[in-house]
Structures are given as C-alpha cells and as structure tokens.
Structure 1
C-alpha cells in the first residue's frame, strides 16, 4: 500500500549539524557571538523577532539539501525562542529579512557569489558582509539591499565623528566601523564592527559590556549613598552640637535665675 506524503515527510531527516568541526577563526567566532548577542538584546522586548546565527535554515519542505546557515540573521514575524534548526514551512514561510556573513578569503567565493544569489532568491531584503581581519574587503564592511530581485550596494556614510557606517533600514540601526588605537609606530589594525542606534544616539552593548555598565552604576550608586550618609552624619553632628549649645545656655540661665538674676532684665 502506498504511503502518504505526510508519512514520507515525517521520515525525512533535517540535520541540526553538518557533522564537521567548527573551523571559524577567533575573529569570526567572536564577531558572530557579538552580533547575535547585541541584536538579541536590542530586540528583546519584541517577542516576534527571531535573532540567531550559524543555524541551519531549511527553506524547502522534503528537501534537506535546500538549506543555508547564515552567520547572523534576523527574522521578523516569528516567535523569539530556542530552535535546533529553522524550518520555514513550520514558521509561516517566514525567512530572514537581514543576513550578515562574517567573511574571509577562505569563504570569499560563497559569500561573494553563491550565498547572495541564494539570499536574493529567498527574498532576503538586506545582505551584509564584514571582513574582521581585512582579508580582502576594502572597506571591511559591505551592505546591499534587494531591488527587483538583485542586490544593489548600500552607501557608506560618515558620522560627524568621522566614523564610517552603513545604515540598515531593516534593523533601524547603523553598522559602524571603529578604528582601534594602534599605538605609535604600529601599522593600523583592522576596524571593529559595532551596531549603533541612531534614534537614541547610543552604541549597542553586548552582555559583558552591559554587565560592566551595571557594575559601574552599582558602584556609583554605592558611592552616592556613602556621600549621602556622610552628609547626613554631618547634619546630625551639627544638630547635636546645636542641641548641646542650647542645653548649656538653658543650664546657665537656670543658674543665673537661682542667683536672682533675670537675664531678660540684663541691659
């Protein structure tokens, strides 16, 4: 008896991993973690935005080979929850609106040719590349938007502080390139990628930076409380001195009255 397509579909395996060890460089891994982390924190209050990275996205039911694993991606309109892999047909056919690849010379062909062609076919609105070690991209950041089925480059702008950036309309954020301090007599270091919120004028922080800010605020609050306590102690000491002076004056007046001297009649 012929099996139904449903039973056949149930037997199809969609792997959560390709079985290969992680081969990312330190820079690739660090920026992948940074980007996913700060974007998750940024969209934390929006439960219908899913941010992830280095996760298999299956976009064709029944075909496990129809998959891609972007370094960083954002999908709007699906729940913000943990997944082992992402199957589009189980998520209302929603696919990423934003993709960022942490690129290098070894992944140049995929990131420059294969993936943008696939992302364009999938309707990914914005495709960004960042080259953390300046292997081949100059500038190290490149962004493009999907127009009539093909990607067109997004302009690189410069902030009033001289920081180059590309604005992502999809995220509502600027992707900035910050030049690290290289020191005297040392060749310039690769520029660091940072996300910036132009609405609030603030840089997005990762969990470590958030914790550092939280600790600094706690220390500042403790210092302010110590200063308030010290000021209160000074006020208490001054009040005690005033009370003691009043008591001495009252005692002296009482002694004078005992001697028959009325201080109110003293000329």
Structure 2
C-alpha cells in the first residue's frame, strides 16, 4: 500500500539548478534593479524584495514555480527566506516582477513566464533586453496583464519609479534620483562623505579664525587699558 503524501510532507527545493544569469551584463542589471529597490524601500519594513528567489504559489505543488530575476511583495515583512511560499505569506503574490533577458532566452520560455505571472496575480511585469535596449511592460487591468503602449516615461503604479529609454534603460526614483550600479552608489556616497568632511573642516577653520580674532581683540583691549586708554 502506497501512503499518500500530506501537504506537510512535500519538499519545496530552494534551488531550481538554474544559474541566476547567463552573462555579466544580465547579472549587472539584475543587481542594479534589485539593490536600488532595496534602497528605495529600506525604511518600509513591509516591502520584501528578492532576486532569483523561487516563488511557489500553490501549497502542495512543488513543480509550479518561478524564480523572477527581481520581485517585490508589498505587505510582506523583510527578512531571509529560502523560497517564497505564497500560502505562508498571507497568500500575497509578488505584485511587481522584473526579468532581464539574455541571448539564451527562448520565446517558449518567456511565454511560459508571462502565463505564470498573469495567472498567479502579478500586477506589474517588466522585461528588459540590455543587448537591444528593448523594454516592455504590462500591468493588470480587468484581471489580466495588459501591455503598456507608451513605456518610456511610464511611472510604476506600485513602485513610483519612472522608466526612460535612451542609450540604455534609465530608472528614476520618485525623488528623481537615477538608479545606479552598486559601485557608483558607493562612489557617490564616498564623494558625499568627502564633501561633508570638507564642509565640516571649513566650518571649523572659520570658527578657529573667529576665536583667534576675538582673542586678539581681547589682548589688544587689555594693552590699551594698561596705557590708560579706555575703550568706549
């Protein structure tokens, strides 16, 4: 007699055996989008962001799954996860998904991904091909993902970021800050720290000058009093 597995007996692997990216360009874009979104929502404890994390939408089914290059789930707490099991996440599906294309992507694969995201409740789905600088997006209307006709200048309803197409995809925060690579973010922070240090040093120099001038005036006044000269 074969015992039927209970839902609690089913194993949901944390890895699908597929690489996160096929090349350095694809990887750099995955990291850029994921890390800049982390920064954008750093102060909101209930926005979960992940890259290449397996998402299981159906309890008891460990074969129906996808690992979006970047996904954002509003209403879910930050923290580490081996995978995103939707039934353990108040049944909240990731609302925003990004996929970065590589030359190895096939039409059948991308069609399957679209059907998955459409079926399981993604509200916004974006695909970027960095080799061709081609950016495509969909957002949910009337229960289905519908194509965004004018993607350049589009503002994500969920994220609040703006997309622009030039020599490459540009993504801007609601405050107008451009998404940068982690290296450029670090250099920008370093430059800001240097400017702050220089400004602080300049303030200290001016303060020292003022103190020296005040001390000099005090000494001069004392010498004049010694000579019998009283200052008004």
TM-score clears 0.5? yes
Q: Which has the higher contact order (CA 8 A, sep 6+)?
A: 2
Whether the 8 Å CA contact 1:42–1:204 is kept in 2: the answer is: no
Deviation per CA, 1:89-140, whole angstroms, max 9, x where unpaired? 2222211111111013421414642211121111211111001111xxxx51
Structure 1: 5+ residue stretches without partners: 158-163, 180-190, 255-262
Q: Provide the C-alpha distance between the structure 2 equivalents of 1:231 and 1:20, rounded to a whole number of angstroms.
A: 60
- Say which is worse superposed, 165-174 or 146-155, in terms of deviation: 146-155
Task: Confirm or deny that 1:10 pairs with 2:8.
Answer: yes
Q: TM-score, normalised by structure 1?
A: 0.75
Task: Confirm or deny that 1:220 pairs with 2:195.
Answer: yes
Equivalences for residues 1-267 of structure 1 within 5 A: 8-110=6-108, 112-134=110-132, 140-156=134-150, 164-179=152-167, 191=168, 193-198=169-174, 200-204=175-179, 208-253=183-228
> 3-state DSSP class of the match of 2:171?
strand
Whether the 8 Å CA contact 2:22–2:104 is kept in 1: the answer is: no
Whether the 8 Å CA contact 1:28–1:102 is kept in 2: the answer is: yes
Provide the aligned length of Structure 1 versus Structure 2. Answer: 230
Q: Structure 1 residue 17: deviation in Å?
A: 0.9
Q: Provide the C-alpha distance between the structure 2 equivalents of 1:49 and 1:99, rounded to a whole number of angstroms.
A: 13
Q: TM-score, normalised by structure 2?
A: 0.85
Q: Provide the C-alpha distance between the structure 2 equivalents of 1:148 and 1:248, rounded to a whole number of angstroms.
A: 88
Q: Structure 1 residue 85: deviation in Å?
A: 0.7
Q: Provide the C-alpha distance between the structure 1 equivalents of 2:123 and 2:50, rounded to a whole number of angstroms.
A: 17
Rg bigger for which structure? Answer: 1
Structure 2: 5+ residue stretches without partners: none
RMSD of Structure 2 on Structure 1 (CA): 2.6
Q: Provide the C-alpha distance between the structure 2 equivalents of 1:153 and 1:22, rounded to a whole number of angstroms.
A: 26
Q: Provide the C-alpha distance between the structure 1 equivalents of 2:6 and 2:21, rounded to a whole number of angstroms.
A: 34
